[in-house]
Structure 1
Amino acid sequence: MNPAQLTGCLLALTVAVTASTSAASDDNPGAHEHGNAELQLAVEGNRIDLLFTSPAYNLLGFEHRARTGEQKTAVQETTRWLGATPLVDTTDPSCKVMEADVQHQSGADGHDHHEHRSGHSGSEHPESTHTDFEVAQTLSCAGLGDGTTLSTPLTGRFPEIEHLSVEWVWSGGQGSERLEQGVDRFSLDVN
């Protein structure tokens, strides 16, 4: 299998796992837990394909439809930041966002909203409605390899993320780590 096929397979697996997890969370409201978020990585050469999912509450402090100007601004700024900022980087920042897709459920009109169309989040349904952000990014990063330490700005930028589950797969193997609030580094060690 060539590197492009490997990356495609890894990304397809990540998307399939996320889709089934997302479907399961729709059927099981307990799967949507405030304070918890997930970051999945497929690393191939100098390329990282990633998928980040989080309850909107962790990023915005609310999940209902943005009502005030302040809430609408928070949604716009968060959406813009998630699309432009590499959600992982090397210790000597070298990662660049090549592609990004930021989605969050609006609930108001039954459609997901993408980065360029967002302006609200949440729902007109009762406050108990659960909404999530999903971010897919393709990064180009110099210097990736065995033992590479990566950092994420997510736990520092969003204090409501108490636990960030990070899973990665690459030619050197796979791994996972659970980052607590304030911890922002993990290593691609071969175990």
Structure 2
Amino acid sequence: MSYAEIKLMRKKQFLTTNILFSSMMAAYFLFVSVVPLTFRVLFLSLGCLFLLQTIYGYIKKSSGSPVPIFKKVEAYEKEKLGKEWDVQKKVDLGVNLFLSGLMFFQAFFIMRETNRVNIDYQIMAVLYIVFLLVVNLSLYFHVKKVDGAEFGDLQGYTKKSNIYGALLGILLAIVLFFLLIMYVLVS
């Protein structure tokens, strides 16, 4: 694959990722606004979704994405990363399984809750912007690392990127937690 083809593929990947992310967030906000949903049902639904993704990932050898650009990216990265691609896929499935368990655990502890999920659009707008920024930055650094490396130079990439991601995720969670507390205290 030539440099120009890779660059075009990556532009399409960024565009498609942003469109899908924005569409899913809008659908979520609309769904929660229209359907009277309790937190228990929300956590059970998310747990089932993550569990189904994990099961599908274990059965399917590839991501199985119906989006053509993601199939092309997957083939390119699988060739470029080699064995590291398999490690990355296993880690992703493990994270999905952990998130599924976490959602079921939360649903179990709020069994009797009948409070409906309410949306504070100011908080959701801030979270949307933060998450969109995180998705784009993580994709940017991933693309930069993968595309800039030679074949076989990416041994240990998954471990390093997951450690950095976990540390940045913890830092982001702390910052968002304090911002949320300040917002609640000011309101």
Q: TM-score, normalised by structure 1?
A: 0.27
**Greater strand share, structure number:** 1
User: RCO (CA 8 Å, sep 6+): is it higher in 1 or 2?
Assistant: 2
Larger CA Rg, structure 1 vs 2: 2
Q: TM-score, normalised by structure 2?
A: 0.27
**Greater helix share, structure number:** 2
